[in-house]
Structure 1
């Protein structure tokens, strides 16, 4: 949940400062940097400062080495070092929802800093700043109120006990041994899609549209789809024939084409940035309606319920295809 919380904090804080420029800073400089990095992790390949190459090199040159340094070559008995691992997995209902590499990326903390002495308390202090900020906005806990979190079953969460050697693992998933760097990011996509497919749905009635749940699900889907479009268009020469088949199965579906259409981009931007497109007639906006009455503006052939069904179906299909692709090689 961290990158989504960071998105809420980062974008709302930008709005507050735009409305009230003299507003004093409510975050320490370090916390503000962590918030920004964590929020920007959701952009994936669409991060304009990094792009595909920058994200691949970040995982290869910073995330992976930090884990290897912390977890490998530590056993006092050299002959037992082959048992050491540097990549852990976490799942829900048997599906991977994140890895230790992906979690490092989404936390927004410098990879090496996670393994320094006192890192836990340091992280706690940063996230206390998150909590204080959200409380100042009016966030509160309402005892007894049902949310997707309260419907989750703790026993369905699982940590793979032994982990794996990342160098070996990334060479045998998705696109195979020729592209371990691409496979690292595809593993992140896999976890993100399983997270919104398995976790950010629990306990929600099929006919009920809850704004935060829809926002997280839609934006995650949009960013993964956008990144796969970029991979297809800019790195097709790096992909095997089988991998291109999987990518096109995801990106060419009618649901993906609808969600990624240029006409729908302002809808994504509103969910992401809290900005209303300047071309929208404000008389058509109704904050009392689900998704503020914006759906028919950007998706004329849909209402809230039918669009939600499209998003749900695309999430399920994308997650399933990534699962199949991950184990195909």
Structure 2
């Protein structure tokens, strides 16, 4: 083959590969929408689970819609105007909340300010009753009223429930948008049965006084907003482990992406807390968390920035090689992290999440 012919062949191969990779973009989006639809359907088995799942799932639904819109803009820009979003601003804010303290528009101080604002709203709305709601099972936090407000899952300061309540209207808008975006690519959501019996007993919602709770929950030197942040992190971790992973069924790839994003930002956020409060690094609570942050598996996860980006976004760079829809995560782990396999990274993620869940659960002061 002449040099000119070989060059042409390589160009054609690259063009074909990019087309195939682009198809994986839509396939990933389809996977996520099918997962959301199936998990939403599974939550109908029990009203207690339905509420908890709705609060836990909303930020990830927002990510799917936000990134799905970006994919639609890239692939079929003329179809974008067909999508109508009643809660566009809330969806964008909810999607950013999965970054925890890594939101470059806020960082630590901005997130603290958010929780201080939420505290003021809740204190006014709940002036004569316990001002804090906690979703918990076996002492492990799944959500709090203030975390849900930060993630835009709920608007507890309004205290409006039922079909006309904020949570129901927002959840409906996100779900409708995800399905509508998928239809612009020529597909409809596919509902698959999930092993809901593996969930076990649903977390219960307890109402209590926030100040009394935090007095023995974390270190006394922490401002209340920081304790709110720690509960947000703990709830994100436990939701991933005990809701999403427990019944992942045929949705291993969507669940892996959610868990990888969760663990990446949880490690970063907790390391930020450790750096800002060096005087408590030797206390039992922070020491237990530090032990997990410094695990080789945790350190390795934090180096995989390219993989984190592929778990967050759908559009796949054309320079990634050896992708294959038959592989776990379509080969994105191996393509972004040379020398590592999906099985290795997945094991790292589960180990670190379980260890963080235990460390945060055991932070309680004597």
- Residue number in structure 1 paired with 2:83: 26
1:272 to 306, 312, 321: 312
CA contact (8 A) 2:148 2:155 kept: no
Q: Measure the CA separation in 2 of the matches of 1:228 and 1:195.
A: 17
CA contact (8 A) 1:34 1:108 kept: no
- Residue number in structure 2 paired with 1:97: 142
- Residue number in structure 2 paired with 1:303: 341
Q: Could you list the runs of 5+ residues in structure 2 that have no partner in the other structure? A: 1-56
Structure 1 range deviating more: 194-203 or 235-244: 235-244
Is 2:252 the partner of 1:210? yes
Cα pair distance change 1:226/1:278, threshold 3 Å? farther
CA contact (8 A) 1:9 1:134 kept: yes
Q: Measure the CA separation in 1 of the matches of 2:257 and 2:282.
A: 34
TM alignment of 1:237-256, pairs within 5 A: 237=278, 239-242=280-283, 243-256=285-298
Q: Measure the CA separation in 2 of the matches of 1:35 and 1:293.
A: 29
RMSD across aligned positions (CA)? 2.6
Residue 24 of structure 1 aligns to a residue whose secondary structure is helix
Residue 260 of structure 1 aligns to a residue whose secondary structure is helix
Q: Measure the CA separation in 2 of the matches of 1:4 and 1:202.
A: 17
1:176 to 196, 211, 220: 220
* Number of residue pairs matched by the alignment: 303
TM-score by length of 1: 0.82
- Residue number in structure 2 paired with 1:258: 300
CA contact (8 A) 2:62 2:95 kept: yes
Cα pair distance change 1:324/1:65, threshold 3 Å? same
CA contact (8 A) 1:94 1:158 kept: no
CA contact (8 A) 1:63 1:111 kept: no
Q: Measure the CA separation in 1 of the matches of 2:230 and 2:166.
A: 30
CA contact (8 A) 1:44 1:224 kept: yes
CA contact (8 A) 1:64 1:101 kept: yes
CA contact (8 A) 1:88 1:159 kept: no
1:39 to 84, 90, 95: 95
Q: Could you list the runs of 5+ residues in structure 1 that have no partner in the other structure? A: 74-83
1:91 deviates by 2.5
Q: Measure the CA separation in 2 of the matches of 1:5 and 1:224.
A: 19
- Residue number in structure 2 paired with 1:236: 277
